[in-house]
A and B are shown apart, each in its own frame.
Chain A
């Protein structure tokens, strides 16, 4: 049971290049999330997928697209990278709705550190 895995771990892009960040979970969770974390800040939600076949925008969706390929996989695409997208990207998964205490755990991957020059 690997939990949440992300690839790649590190990536350097030039402005205007595109790339896809991959995320997979083996916990049979319905919901998956993409966050970005900038220095000195908490995580901000980019996109999420409440269940297979659905995606929705989070707090900072501009410049990104997502695909919920199947229940296990949720990818994040940068079509034309910009320096402002330099960040650490975290994928997470969880069971929702989580009616009881202790059920609000989102399991996070190790992160992808992206630099756009």
Chain B
């Protein structure tokens, strides 16, 4: 079946470094890809999304890159801070007209630890 997965289950960085979290996806028909951040004991929180016809989108300190050729998604966090420590999930949204329209399929997650 279709799935979204992550290459690296854990990532440790020093405060101030840039972080890159990767995600592989298999459903070419998804029309949006989304990154969520989940802090310990809380529900996931939306970070940024990107449409399937885009290669790059930037937010505040974050950049999402989409490589459709190799079905790869990444989240770059600039000047990582201790408050960025969390589990990061990528998710894909089913395209209009598909059985999964409007529904998100989540990957397993990457644990990001930022050391002061």
Bound-complex Cα distance A41 to B57 (A): 26
In the complex, which residues of chain A have a beta carbon less than 8 angstroms from the beta carbon of B78? none
Instruction: Count residues of chain B with CB under 8 A from any CB of chain A.
Output: 27
Which B-chain residue is minimally distant from A4 (CB atoms)?
B43
In the complex, which residues of chain A have a beta carbon less than 8 angstroms from the beta carbon of B41? 110-111
Which A-chain residue is minimally distant from B1 (CB atoms)?
A59
Task: Write the A92-117 contact mask toward B (1 if CB under 8 angstroms, else 0).
Answer: 10001110011111111111000000
Chain A nearest CB from B47 CB (Å) reads 9
User: Which one of A31, A43, A111 contacts B102 once the chains associate, using CB atoms below 8 Å?
Assistant: A31
User: Which one of B101, B106, B107 contacts A97 once the chains associate, using CB atoms below 8 Å?
Assistant: B101
Q: Contact at A110–B106, with CB atoms within 8 Å?
A: no
Q: Contact at B108–A101, with CB atoms within 8 Å?
A: no
Q: Contact at B51–A42, with CB atoms within 8 Å?
A: no
Best-buried of B46, B93, B103, B105 by chain A (most CB within 10 Å): B103
Best-buried of B51, B89, B106, B108 by chain A (most CB within 10 Å): B106
Can you identify 21 A-B contacts, CB atoms within 8 angstroms?
A: A31-B102, A42-B89, A42-B106, A44-B106, A48-B102, A50-B102, A58-B103, A59-B105, A92-B43, A98-B102, A101-B50, A101-B51, A101-B57, A104-B49, A104-B104, A105-B46, A105-B49, A106-B44, A106-B46, A108-B43, A111-B42
Interface, chain B (partner A; CB < 8 A): 4, 32, 34, 41-46, 49-51, 54, 57, 89, 91, 93, 96, 101-109
